[in-house]
Amino acid sequence: MQVFVRVVECDSFSRAAESLDIANATVTASVRNLENYLGVTLLSRNTRSLRLTDEGKQYFESCIALLRQVDEVESVVRRKKGEVDGQLCIASPAAFARTLICPVLPSFTALHPELSVALRLTDHPEDPIASGTDVAIRIDSVNDADLVARPLYQAHYIACVSPALLAQLGTVQSPRELPPQWCLGLFGQGRYTSANWHFGRDEDTVELVPQGKLRFNSTDALIQAALADQGAIYVLDVFVNGLISTGQLVDLFPDWTTSSRTFYTVTPKARFIAPRTRAFIDFMLATLDAQRRPPPGNSVSLHQGRRGRN
């Protein structure tokens, strides 16, 4: 079972053999014997490619779940020794990973020399159970009752511009004074309409519709456009705090409140959490600014359609 799963993950018999440190012939024989035992073809293969059959896909997903359970049982046994080892698989939105995870990974791995980390940067949420992910970072909500979400970081939107563009704009006291045609847009998956900007101060509220010539579905691209003096942007502070502190961008309205988004760590629902997963979550909680985290509360299992808490 483990050999078959590794072949699928590596998409190659030879790479699977190398990763397992066994002979190619052993891997081939293991998969062939497994297929003979099950009486079905799991992998359709030729000299150029491998492809899971329908039976293979079903068996692979079941194997992932079973191997995870085995790993959890073994982790419980090792917990008394405090061992944090093996491979930790993390999935995170690209901008969050580059800003908050990648800079601290060396410190985390230095604390746990027997641990290796595989970090997947993706803006398209995947099923952690099917993909073999130990912990995923999600924004606002998840849509699976088999996942448990724990609040990690609460970010707020900031309207900001480059110093050069601010010099052209002049003094801007209120979001109402910011020309919409100078505002660059950010849109989500499956659409091209930019999200509106929301501001509040006391009883005053402002909703701004960005009408700049550029809009993106990528926070990174949006920030690069702002740094190139292309317009004002409205992004989560976590992605631009460093640029603001170094003077590369300027916070336009620090006295106004804005919308917030909550980042969560998401793990498969299980009775036990593997020590490596717990170590990573605890490390991130300790690393992030405690004032920007939501109240601890209890971890929650989010059912389909239920929103995360801000």
Three-class HEC string of the chain: CHHHHHHHHHCCHHHHHHHHCCCHHHHHHHHHHHHHHHCCCCEEECCCCEEECHHHHHHHHHHHHHHHHHHHHHHHHHHCCCCCCEEEEEEECHHHHHHHHHHHHHHHHHHCCCEEEEEEECCCCCCHHHHCCCEEEEECECCCCCEEEEEEEEEEEEEEECHHHHHHHCCCCCHHHCCHHHECEECCCCCCCCCCEEEEECCEEEEECCCCCCEECCHHHHHHHHHCCCCEEEEEHHHCHHHHHCCCCEECCCCCEECEEEEEEEEECCCCCCHHHHHHHHHHHHHCCHHHCCCCCCCEECCCCCECCC
Alpha-carbon span 133 to 267, nearest angstrom = 8
Confidence (pTM): 0.64
For residue 304, the model assigns a pLDDT of 31
Report pLDDT for 180.
Answer: 95
Q: What is the pLDDT of residues 152-177, one digit of tens each?
A: 888 899 999 999 999 998 888 899 99
How confident is the model over 287-295, as a mean pLDDT?
59
Q: What span, in angstroms and rounded, lies between the C-alpha atoms of 122 and 215?
A: 20
pLDDT of residue 300: 35
The confidence score (pLDDT) of residue 78 equals 63
Q: Which of the pair, 292 or 89, is modelled with greater confidence?
A: 89
User: Which segment of 74-88, 135-149, 215-229 scores lowest on mean pLDDT?
Assistant: 74-88
Query: Which band of pLDDT confidence, cut at 50, 70 and 90, is reported for residue 79?
Result: low
Specify the pLDDT at position 80.
Answer: 53
Q: What pLDDT score was predicted for residue 291?
A: 43
The CATH number of 155-260, from 3.40.30.10, 3.40.190.10, 3.40.50.720, 3.90.1570.10, is 3.40.190.10
**Topology (CATH) of 1-75:** Arc Repressor Mutant, subunit A (1.10.10)
How high does pLDDT run on average in the chain? 85
Domain residue limits, the chain:
1-75, 155-260
What pLDDT was estimated at residue 82? 62
The predicted-structure confidence for 37-52, as pLDDT tens digits, reads as follows: 889 998 888 767 788 8
